[in-house]
Amino acid sequence: MQKGMNENNVLEIDLLRLIKALLDKLWAIVLCAIIAGGAAFGLTYIFIEPTYQASTQLYVNNNGVSVGNTSFNISTSSLSAAQELVNTYIVILKTRSTLSEIIEESKVEGITVNQLKNMITASPVNSTEIFEIVVESNNPKLSETLANSIAKVLPKRIAEIVDGSSVRIVDYAIAPKVRSGPSYSKFTILGMVIGALLCIVIIVVREIFDSYIREESYLTSAYSVPVLAAIPDVNDSKSKSGYYYSSYSANEK
């Protein structure tokens, strides 16, 4: 028997029925989450190449320097001004001429200026006069070589552009022993969440648009008419001791 709209032609959603349907299909939700998580892990492992990060740190001596006609006179207590100066040096780092010189210094073949630019991230360390340069690539030795080439080239490039500047190397880069990405656990958890959500959506949609009446209570709640009779389910354990089940069993024999 099919369900219909109520008297006001409004589709009613029984939240308790939806929750019951989700609990009944909990095994399916868990199974979908496990399958999707395993698929996400496998795809990440096969198709996403591991990356490695190597970093070097430089110290900026920012007392009385000037860029062109603009002068900076920065005290050690003026961290916001020091931050601006560090940002200036980061811009110099990512210029085409600086990157070309870094590639030449590293003696790495087959890498372009744009590729190197996308491999580099630089940021101040806790808003101090020290800034960190991180190189990320698919080869740990390549990351180390490029980061140390930056540490050699950048101080000279800054000295050529910024009068009175002094940039010193705080720490050289070393070849990383562990990968920086991708995060297998992150992709696996994300896959499990997506798989579980998709399964929940499918269950909810099927339950909402299920047009069959399976419970007598739906008729009494949706329509203001009494239920005159109901056909018992002979397969229901509660009906096996009744008259209808006995007659049904006798006819089957």
pLDDT, one tens digit per residue, over 68-114 is 555 555 444 445 655 677 888 889 999 999 999 999 999 998 899 99
Q: Which residues contact 210 (CB under 8 A, 6 or more apart)?
A: 3
Structure tokens at 47: 């198709």
Are 132 and 120 spatial neighbours (Cβ–Cβ below 8 Å)? no
CA distance 49 to 43: 11
Output the pTM of the full model.
0.65
Are 143 and 53 spatial neighbours (Cβ–Cβ below 8 Å)? yes
Q: By CB neighbour count within 10 A (0-12 exposed, 13-18 middle, 19+ buried), where does 222 fall? A: middle
The CB density around residue 214, as the number of other CB atoms within 10 Å, is: 11
pLDDT at 1: 43
pLDDT, one tens digit per residue, over 144-164 is 999 999 999 999 998 888 776
pLDDT at 57: 93
pLDDT at 250: 53
Question: Residues of CATH 3.30.70.1130 domain(s) within the chain?
Answer: 52-171
The CB density around residue 192, as the number of other CB atoms within 10 Å, is: 21
Would you say how long the chain is, in residues? 253
Residue 171 in this model has a pLDDT that exceeds 50: yes
pLDDT at 242: 52
Tell which CATH classification among 3.40.50.11720, 3.40.50.2000, 3.30.70.360, 3.30.70.1130 matches the domain 52-171: 3.30.70.1130
* Residue 220, CA distances (Å) to 81, 155, 236 in order: 75, 83, 21
CA distance 85 to 209: 63
